Structures are given as structure tokens and as C-alpha cells.
Structure 1
Amino acid sequence: MDFDLDEEQRAVVETTAAFVRNELVPHEEEVERTGRLDHDVAKALRDKAIRAGLYAANMPEEIGGGGLDTLTWMLMERELGHTGYALQMFAVARPSRILLACEGAQREDYLLPTVRGERAECLAMTEPEAGSDLRGMRTRAVREGGPGSDWIITGTKHFISHADAADYVVLFAATGEDGPADDRPRRAQITAFLVDLDTPGLQVLPGYRSVSHRGYDNFVLAFDGARVPDSAVLGEVGQGFDVANTWLGTTRLQVAAVSLGRARRALDLAVQHAATRRQFGTTIGRNQGVSFQLADMATAVEAASLLTWRAAALVDAGRQDDAAIAMAKLAATETLAKVADAALQIHGGMGLMDELPLERIWRDARVERIWDGTSEIQRHIISRSLLRARGG
């Protein structure tokens, strides 16, 4: 295996790292203290990201994106992970690749404007009662008449990230039921829709106050008889999970790579502090209680990185492996939690003060083990892969 970056990958890493540190990091304190990223600042940063060639880098070149392969994209995500979600997501958008399922007029109305930075999407799967049980979702879309007629949508979605900054939602709703099998209950057939957020009958409501990712807020979408045309269906009716599968895997890798970026920042802060902080006549890094922690932190970050790069390389080779992706997300997000906690411990009481970014990294780390599939879901995917290989 060749672990050296090629010329393009080095350029992407260097350009992204410079943009993050020069353009995004200076706004971190403002976002943390106000809980928001000013709209005009966000627009100015987005314009700079577009000029730098960082915007929509994960989308194919033929539609105006950067055309990065998955591994290079994840290297970029690691650099973006150096800062918080509010800054990186609003300034350097990576549109959901689920939009590549757009056909016909959907491409001009949704896909291409999003790649150009003229429109923005949010994704709505999670519901108050369903959680990770996506087949149990209760938001329903019902045809008003026969084939080709409008759909009427009723239900509630929550934990919808950045809905306040979006123009439309990629919505997943139940449009029918599968027949019962093996005495199991009937399960919902899911369809994906493209729904403008100004659609009558759709309200965007404030969500919950989260300790993680200030400025990157969540919202509730309330559908009360919202009407959308049949042309709003993304993919085929009842095949929403087929559409989602083109998106979920790389999004979990995205979470893994971003977590690696934040873990590296926490580790760098810990190493710098251990090398300069003096107690009892010497630097604390000479104390094995600290130096061994640094060694374990660095090893864990490197191991999680290799799992992430391997999973990305498999995607690029046309051999996407759900278990490999699950391992990457599990390892990277749990490594971030451990490294952030250890780095804070090495700093002592100052680690909890907001003069340093460590307390934010520590807070932000918690959600990574929950969204885009909890750690338990990842372990289920991995164990299922192991057992199926032996007929279990």
C-alpha cells in the first residue's frame, strides 16, 4: 500500500488547511459567544470558498463540483474538522450526494443551483417517535388521486440541522407498507421527496438547545397537509432507502474524517501544553502519567485514520463496504471523545475554560457518536457482517 499523498491530495489538504486557519478560525469565538454565524459573514466566507475551489468539492466535475474522489474528499474533511460545524458547513458546503439522484427538471431546480452555491438543502429523516427505526417513521405522503397526482404530506421531523439556512428539504416519508413476513409487523415503504421550505402547510420551527456545535442549530419541520407535485419524488416511489444508500455511507465517513480533524487539534494542544507547562522543576510532558497518555492518544488517532482512509479507498475502488465504513465512524468518533477528554485532563482546570477551544471540542465530540448512526448501530453493522460470513 502507498501511504504517500499524490500532488492533488497535497494541494487539497494545504489549500483547505490554510482556508480554515486564515478564514474560519478567526470567527470561532464570535460563534461560541453569540451562538450564531452572522449572515453577511457567512456569505462572504462562502464566496471566498467558491473562489478557492473548495465549494461542492465532493460533487462531480461535470455538474460544476470539484470532482474529488472519496479519499481526497475525506482528507479535505479532516482539515475542515479543525473548526466547528457552523463555520465549515455554512462557508464550505458539501451538498448531499443524494442529490445526484435528481432527474429532469430537478437538476435545474435543485441539484445545479446547490452545487453553484445559489441554493442549500437540509435532510429530514429523524422523527420524535422513530429515532433510528427509519422504517417506523410516521410522516406520511398520500397521493391525492391516481398516478401522477399531487402528494399530501403530514407529520413531524426533528433534529433537522441548518434548516434555517436551507431553501429546501430532502424529505423521507412513508408512502405505503410492506406485507407482513415471518409474523413481523408491517413496515413502512419509504419515498424521498424534494420539498421547498416555503411550501404552504410546512412550518420550520425552533428545535432544541444543544450543548454541541453552537451556531449549527437543529429545527423541527411540521407538515400539515403540505401539497407537493408528483415531480417532487426523488428516485422512485417506495425506493427511498435505495436513494439514501447512495448517501448514508459517505456521510458516515464524513463524520469520521471531521472527527479526526478535531482529535488532531486536541492532541496538538495537549502536546504543546505538555512540552511547555512546568511543574516541580520540569515540563509535565516528562511525567510518564502525561507522556504515556500522549502516546496512547497519538496511536488511537493514527489507527482511526487508517480505518477511515481504507474505507474511503474501498469506495473509490467500487467496493464500498458498510462494515468498513462503520468501523471508521465508530473508531474515529470514539477516539475523538477519548482524546478530547484526555487533552482536557492534561490541561487541568484551564481546559474547561472557554479561553481555550478544548472545552468546545470536548462538548462537540459527544454528538458524533449519535448522529448519522449511533455507535450501537455501527457495532450492529460490524457484528452482522462477521456473523453472516459464518451463516449466523
Structure 2
Amino acid sequence: MDFSLSHEQEMLVASLRSFVEKELQPHEFAVDRADHVPHELAQSIRQKAIELGFYAFNMPESAGGAGLDYVTQALVERELGRTSWALQVFVARPSKILMACKGEQIERYLLPTVRGERIDCFALTEPGAGSDAMGIRTRAVRDGSDYVINGSKHFISHAENADYVILFAVTGEEEVRGRLRKQVTSFLIDKGTPGMTIHRGPHCTSLRGYHQAEIFFTDCRVSAAQILGEEHRGFDLANEWLTAGRVMVAANNVGRAQRAFEMAAEWAATRQQFGKRIGEFQGTSFKLADMATGIRASELLMLYTADKLDKGTMTDGDAALAKLFASETLGRVTDDAVQIYGGMGLMNELPIERFWRDARIERIWEGTSEIQRHILSKEILRQYS
């Protein structure tokens, strides 16, 4: 299988890497220290990304996006992964499920979001429903032509910057093979809607400057016209987006691992102890070899899975495998990078300790490593049952 890049892909990768190095990486230290991205900086990144054609690269041309195939999207994510989420998030990737918008929703939500005029956030996780998404309790009860929503969400990324929320709420129950199962509907809810409040969540060790929020609904009334997609079919939308998203998480992890590896390799090649470069000691050189092996394997697996996504043959297990391997590789690479740097690896004067902190969340969000193993093992066993 040939994964050599086309001329267009090479140009895109080079352009994006230059953008990341010049416009994003110089702000990493200040943003991490302040745990905040200044509004002016966020606006500048967004505007430059729009001008360069990077903004909403994951959306189809029919909606005004770049219309990139999944392999090329993964390459873009790999390059964005070379900087912190607090900054790269402003090169927005709108939730692909917005393609389910219809009628007035297209002009009100989809197109302005692709143009960078509005920002969305994806609200599924709840205090009692993390890995078990079917455990959500937020309910939307029909009342005439409206729905009345009560409940709460947490760990909702970027919600404080969003103009509207893509909310998932229970709207009914159905019997499936003799058991009751929740029916979930997706709603588009504008910030400022009475009954909905958004607060910043607890401070997180990882991804400083990229905040998560808690959203509370108290008799929040929305029109049935705010349903995204079909009533009771919200999980169909969510699963399609989340599964493909795991491949892009893998790509992002590859980019971050590569940057940490490059810094560790340079340090090993120049730092001297006992009259020798530390890279000449087997304890260090073998770490570098293992890091390079893991990164290469993660990248090939990510490209292979993205190619299957383009061909329509990717399974949930394929996506789980890519996300699992890349996120755990990133954890090992950043941990080894700290070890190679020694004491300096834990000092905040250098970015290595930040890479190490930020890497930890990758094995949790977008589906924990345990969930990925569960998905993959079920798919394996299904072949024999």
C-alpha cells in the first residue's frame, strides 16, 4: 500500500507546519502559564487560518469547507498536533454532524460555523455518563411544539467560547430484544437561551488554556425546530462523528509524539555526561529507537485507517485500534523524553513537561483506552460467534 504524499499534500503539510511554527508555537509558554488564550490572539489565529484555507478543513465543499479526503485530514491533524490544543482549536474543525442541518438551520448554524462566524460545542458527557454514553440522564420532554430540557453536562470542551451547543438528551425509550433502551435526540441550543447556564469546570492538569465546562439545564425550553437530524436518532449522528474522530485523535497524537521525540533526540545528541554524549549510552539510545519505532507504527496505522475511512471499509474496531495505539505511544514517548532530559524534563522552562502533562488526557478523552480495547475485542470475537 502506497502512502507517499501527492504534490498537493506535500505543499499543504509544509504550509501548515510553517503556520504552526510561526503563529502558534511561540505562544505556547505564555498560554500554558496563564491558563488562558487572549481574545485578540484567538481572533488572529482564526482569521489567519481562514485566509490560508485551513479553517473548517474537515467539512465538505458543499458546505464551504475544504472538502479534504480523510487521509489528507489526518495529515493536517498530525501537523496541528505539534502544538497545544489551547491554540490549535482556533483552527476549527466544526462537528461534522452539522451536515444534518436542514431548512433554516443551514443558514443559522451550518454555514456560519464553517465560515468562522459562529462556534459550536458538542455536549454529550455527563457526571454519571462518561464511557457509558447510554447512561445520560438529561431529558427533553415534549410540550406542544417545544421541548423542556432538564439535566447537566460536564467535560464539555471549548463551551465557554461557543455560540451554541449541540446537545444530546433522552427523549424516550424503545424495546430492543426484550430490553428497554433510551432514545436520544440532538438539539441545537443558542448560548443565552433561558434555562441554560455554562460555567467553567474544574481546572485540569492537561491542556491548560483549553478549558472544559459544565452546562446546566433548568426548564430550558427549545422549539422542535431545533432538533438536529431526526427525533430519537441522536446517537446515530454522534457515533458516526465520534468513530471517525478517533482516527483524527490518533493523527494529532502522532504529531505531538514526533515533536517530543525530535527534542529528545537533539538533547541526547548534544548533552554530555561522563565525557560522552548521553545518546551514546545504550540506556538512552535504545529509548530513542523504541520511540521512533512506536511513532512510525502509529503513523502508518493512522494512515491505513484513514484510507479505510475514505474507502468506506473502516470498522469501529479499526478506529479504536488506531486511537489506542497512538495515544499509548504518545504516553510512552513523552515519558521517555522526560527521562532523557532528566531533571530538566520536569522544569517548566522547557516544553517537555507540558508534552508529558498533555499526553495523559489522550488515553481518556474520545473514549478511554479501556473502551477502545473493549470495542476492538468485541469485534475480534464476533468473527467466531
Aligning the two structures, in what range does the TM-score lie when normalised by the shorter sequence? Answer: over 0.9
Q: Find the counterpart in structure 2 of residue 65 from structure 1.
A: 65
Q: Distance in 2 between matches of 1:319 and 1:116?
A: 31
Q: Distance in 2 between matches of 1:111 and 1:11?
A: 28
Cα distance per residue 1:257-289 (max 9 Å; x no partner): 111111001100110001001111111111111
Q: Distance in 2 between matches of 1:7 and 1:224?
A: 53
The ranges of structure 1 where at least 4 consecutive aligned residues each deviate by more than 4 angstroms after the TM superposition are none
Q: Find the counterpart in structure 2 of residue 295 from structure 1.
A: 289
Q: Find the counterpart in structure 2 of residue 172 from structure 1.
A: 168
Q: Distance in 2 between matches of 1:3 and 1:189?
A: 41
Q: Distance in 2 between matches of 1:8 and 1:241?
A: 36
The answer to whether the aligner puts 1:152 opposite 2:148 as a matched pair is yes
Q: How far off its partner does 1:246 sit?
A: 2.5
Secondary structure at the counterpart of residue 89 of structure 2: helix
Q: Distance in 2 between matches of 1:152 and 1:192?
A: 13
Q: How far off its partner does 1:213 sit?
A: 0.3
Secondary structure at the counterpart of residue 310 of structure 1: helix
Q: Find the counterpart in structure 1 of residue 53 from structure 2.
A: 53
Please say if residues 3 and 303 of structure 2, whose CA atoms lie closer than 8 Å, have aligned partners that are also in contact: no
Give the superposed CA RMSD: 1.0
Q: Find the counterpart in structure 2 of residue 136 from structure 1.
A: 135
Q: Find the counterpart in structure 2 of residue 388 from structure 1.
A: 382
Q: Distance in 2 between matches of 1:319 and 1:40?
A: 43
Q: Find the counterpart in structure 2 of residue 29 from structure 1.
A: 29
TM-score (norm 1): 0.97
Q: Distance in 1 between matches of 2:248 and 2:202?
A: 24
Cα distance per residue 1:302-325 (max 9 Å; x no partner): 111111111100010121221111
Task: Give the AA of the match of 1:69.
Answer: D
Q: Distance in 2 between matches of 1:234 and 1:43?
A: 28
Please say if residues 135 and 189 of structure 1, whose CA atoms lie closer than 8 Å, have aligned partners that are also in contact: no
Q: How far off its partner does 1:329 sit?
A: 0.1
Q: How far off its partner does 1:355 sit?
A: 1.0
Q: How far off its partner does 1:180 sit?
A: 6.3
Q: Find the counterpart in structure 1 of residue 112 from structure 2.
A: 113
Q: Find the counterpart in structure 2 of residue 89 from structure 1.
A: 89
Q: Find the counterpart in structure 2 of residue 350 from structure 1.
A: 344
Task: Give the AA of the match of 2:18.
Answer: A
Equivalent residues in 2 for 1:291-370 (5 A)?
Answer: 291-370=285-364
Secondary structure at the counterpart of residue 178 of structure 1: strand
**Unpaired runs of 5+ in structure 1?**
none
User: Identity rate of aligned residues, in percent?
Assistant: 56
Q: Find the counterpart in structure 2 of residue 252 from structure 1.
A: 246
Q: Distance in 1 between matches of 2:287 and 2:135?
A: 43
Please say if residues 168 and 195 of structure 1, whose CA atoms lie closer than 8 Å, have aligned partners that are also in contact: yes
Q: How far off its partner does 1:181 sit?
A: 4.0
TM-score (norm 2): 0.98
Candidates 198, 215, 223, aligned match of 1:204:
198
Equivalent residues in 2 for 1:217-232 (5 A)?
Answer: 217-232=211-226
